[in-house]
Structure 1
Amino acid sequence: MPQPTISLIISTYNWESALYLCLSSVLYQKVLPNEVIIADDGSCERTRDVVAFFQKKFPVPLHHVWQEDNGFQLAKIRNKAIKKAQFEYVIQVDGDLILDKNFIKDHLKFAKKEHFVRGSRTRMGISLSQKLLETKSIHFSLFNSDIKNRFNGFRNYYIAKLLATPQQNSRKMLGCNMAYWREDALKINGYENNLIGWGHEDEEFATRLINNSVYKIKMKHYGFVNHIYHPERARENEVGHNDLIQEVISSNKKKATNGINEL
């Protein structure tokens, strides 16, 4: 199959120093996406300044999609970014990540019709994260003692391909590193805008993909990202979000009630 065109969506909220590293790692990619879209859930002017700085450097279009800060509305801003996207395949990450230099290239190898991809990540500790943020550097060793899940960062295509069996009933996701066909996202009406606050909007999205016979591929040791440390977010809405997912499973729901079409 010919390689698809790529829209890279990066979600962010008021952490411009981390976004700076993330966008630096995009520039460092061996294969660039066709466009980059910043999905901004209400950040202040400092984030806009970082985007403007990189817009002058990027060889591909860098768009900034912003919405008013009305609390944690990640699902809604991702829908706005998907709606803005111009290309066939969406790779989705968060703005608190440093992408491996092969990230886009690796995802392209696992792009397969009627499938979506869950990627993996390493986790940097406080010390290493602060050092990189202060120096604006994206370069570090996977053998650094302040990295957790470092095994995820050892890249091997043959192991990745061996582990990448399509899964029809696995809904657990990692929304900070996932990929899907834009036409599939539109078919299910995108994310559920009613999911407000932290928790499992990506899993609910994946459940409806599966209900439409689009199955998950788990990509390990390939196309990985490196997570910059930050404290855990409040999870007060998590129980309600999990209840919604169970409802989507039991009813075999295929489209979001309040999604892209309702924006």
Structure 2
Amino acid sequence: MLASIIISTYNAPEWLEKVLIGFSVQTIRDFEVIIADDGSTAETKAVIDSFKHQFHNLKHVWHPDDGFRKCEILNLAIKASESAYLIFTDGDCIPRADFVETHLKKREVNKFLSGGYLKLPMVVSKAITKEDILRQDCFSPEWLVSKGLVKSFKNIKLYTNTILRWLLNSFTPTSPTWNGHNASGWKKDIVDVNGFDERMKYGGEDRELGERMINSGIKGKQIRYHAICIHLDHARGYVNDRDWEINNKIRKETKLNLAKTTRYGINK
């Protein structure tokens, strides 16, 4: 297989179904899909089971619900992956049909890729149907605006003009970071830094992984205008100031000490 797609999810079966439809129509299909499930109920499993005939290999990696443990389930998914190249996204991000192909075309040795997304309001998120994904209408700025998306310069992310995308990626002031919704890298590089730090809850936990990779000599490459997904709206009841404080402290230590690995990752 050319890649392993790792999708994190937690009790959002309606959104996960739309995401899996998006991966079912990729221009390149030689990949496995691994659902990193942070303790969802049987409804999520039923959605996953309904897609098993559409992928070469679809794995459901699950552990019991014990609060926000995304980093732990992602590490389990990394261990379960069978490809040398891993693409990470979330169960609320529908990939455009060229998503996997773009990551594979842009991959390089000693680099990880930092992709982009367009955040949608709830009214538009709900409006997207299976047919809209199959036809790729939901990646048309004009179609999204007709469904309630506010006109904005940010919508330019969805335009497919090759020269425009190259210019935007080349001159964006945004540094490439490891983004949970859209990032990829070589499995060896991710394992070498020991995966995600399992002390971390919500808030910068994905970026901390990328910061350790950079400390290890793996540079980030910006593809935020090439590899696109649309981010469906949802509540974030798991967000709290205490977790942000802990995460910020860990990230500060990672940067200060130029940490290349963590003692709290895949291997304890």
TM-score by length of 2: 0.88
Q: Which residue matches 2:15? A: 18
Quote the Cα distance in structure 2 between the aligned partners of 1:235 and 1:206.
23
Quote the Cα distance in structure 2 between the aligned partners of 1:67 and 1:136.
32
- The amino acid that maps onto 2:86 is V
Out of 69, 72, 78, the residue aligned to residue 68 of structure 2 is: 72
Q: Please show how residues 32-51 of structure 1 align to structure 2 within 5 Å.
A: 32-51=29-48
Structure 1 residue 217 corresponds to structure 2 residue 221 = yes
1:128 alignment partner, SS class = helix
2:46 alignment partner, SS class = helix
Q: Unaligned 5+ residue runs, structure 1?
A: none
Out of 246, 249, 253, the residue aligned to residue 240 of structure 1 is: 246
Q: Which residue matches 1:131? A: 127
- The amino acid that maps onto 1:256 is T
Determine what percentage of the aligned residue pairs are the same residue. 30
1:221 alignment partner, SS class = strand
- In the TM superposition, residue 98 of structure 1 has moved relative to its aligned partner by 1.1
2:225 alignment partner, SS class = coil
- The amino acid that maps onto 1:182 is K
Quote the Cα distance in structure 2 between the aligned partners of 1:122 and 1:246.
28
Q: Which residue matches 1:114? A: 110
Quote the Cα distance in structure 1 between the aligned partners of 2:41 and 2:235.
20
1:119 alignment partner, SS class = strand
Maintained 8 Å contact 1:6/1:91: yes
Q: Please show how residues 179-194 of structure 1 align to structure 2 within 5 Å.
A: 179-194=184-199
Q: Which residue matches 1:83? A: 79
User: Structure 1 residues 157, 257: closer, same or farther in 2, change over 3 A?
Assistant: farther
1:11 alignment partner, SS class = strand
Structure 1 residue 8 corresponds to structure 2 residue 10 = no
1:18 alignment partner, SS class = helix
- In the TM superposition, residue 147 of structure 1 has moved relative to its aligned partner by 3.2
Out of 238, 242, 260, the residue aligned to residue 254 of structure 1 is: 260
Q: Unaligned 5+ residue runs, structure 2?
A: none
User: Structure 1 residues 231, 171: closer, same or farther in 2, change over 3 A?
Assistant: same
Quote the Cα distance in structure 1 between the aligned partners of 2:10 and 2:263.
25
User: Structure 1 residues 57, 173: closer, same or farther in 2, change over 3 A?
Assistant: closer
State the aligned residue count. 255
1:260 alignment partner, SS class = coil
Q: Which residue matches 2:160? A: 155
Quote the Cα distance in structure 2 between the aligned partners of 1:127 and 1:181.
37
- The amino acid that maps onto 1:18 is W
Quote the Cα distance in structure 2 between the aligned partners of 1:161 and 1:121.
16
Q: Runs of at least 4 residues of structure 1 off by over 3 A?
A: 156-165, 169-173
Superposed CA RMSD: 2.2
